[in-house]
Amino acid sequence: MNDHPDEPSQVNERNLRVLEAVLFASVEPLDVHSLLAYVGEGADIANLLITLQQRYAGRGVNLVQRGDKWAFRTAEDLGFLLRREENETRPLSRAALETLSIIAYHQPTTRAEIEEVRGVATGKGTIDLLMEAGWIRMRGRRRTPGRPVTYGTTDAFLDHFGLESLSDLPGLDELKGAGLLSGRLPSTMQIPLPFDGALRDDEDPLDPDDLDGEDENA
């Protein structure tokens, strides 16, 4: 006979409190693998996260998903109360905003492909700026002459712009209305479904020296 009929419920409640504490304390969103280390084997981490998300629905802070990671964030309708002052001394240029938008929608993409869409050269400094912000990353190298580096967005990009996944990206008209794409871009430009999973068949893994910089000629 089980002397503790509520034990499974008590374990779930304890796990929920642990997840709540860990997620509150973390500055960056955490993935399921990282969270499992705190609740132990056998825990239904996916169900626990959904339960916790439901408990915080409608509160001042919400549990949100950013890609495959989770984090507590201020409720959207209250964001204006806690919006921090921007301390960037150099705001993103039009070139950087356009480059970021093109990478987000066309990933994986190379610098040459970005330039083809924009119709102008894209300086390496623009790419470096977006990488320093943590919004884009080098994915791999395209299996074409010159083996150019391919770029894609990061979970930090999703978190900064309040997106759960790339499928939540706004449409082309919204981007133009927000000033993220200029009239210089082709009027026939189409937005494909972005791909940000594992390397595609036309991509090779990055070389060891890519972490120290790359020279893309194509």
Secondary structure (DSSP) of 1-56: --S-TTHHHHHHHHHHHHHHHHHHH-SS-EEHHHHHHHH-TT--HHHHHHHHHHHH
Q: Which of 161, 162, 165 is nearest to 194 (CA)?
A: 165
pLDDT score at 197: 66
Here the CATH number for the domain that contains residue 62 is 1.10.10.10
| Number of separate domains in the chain | 2
d(CA 57, CA 63): 8
Phi and psi at residue 173, to the nearest 5°: -65, -40
pLDDT score at 21: 92
pLDDT score at 119: 80
* Cα pseudo-dihedral 209, 211, 216, 218, rounded to 10: 90
pLDDT score at 86: 42
* Pair (15, 73) in one structural domain: yes
pLDDT score at 85: 42
pLDDT score at 187: 52
Q: Which residues contact 68 (CB under 8 A, 6 or more apart)?
A: 31, 32, 155
Q: Where among 82, 108, 140 does a domain terminate?
A: 82
Q: Across the 218 residues of the chain, what is the mean pLDDT of every consecutive 10-residue run?
A: 59 90 90 88 90 91 90 79 48 82 87 86 86 91 90 88 80 60 51 64 78 51
pLDDT score at 58: 87
* Pair (63, 21) in one structural domain: yes
* Pair (66, 163) in one structural domain: no
Q: Is 2 a member of any domain?
A: no
Based on the number of CB atoms within 10 Å of its own CB, is 92 exposed (0-12), middle (13-18) or buried (19 or more)?
middle
pLDDT score at 88: 44
Give me Rg for the CA atoms of the chain.
21
Q: Which domain holds residue 119?
A: 94-212
pTM for this predicted structure = 0.60
* Pair (78, 174) in one structural domain: no
Q: Where among 34, 52, 82 does a domain terminate?
A: 82
Please, are residues 151 and 139 in contact by the beta-carbon 8 Å criterion?
Answer: yes
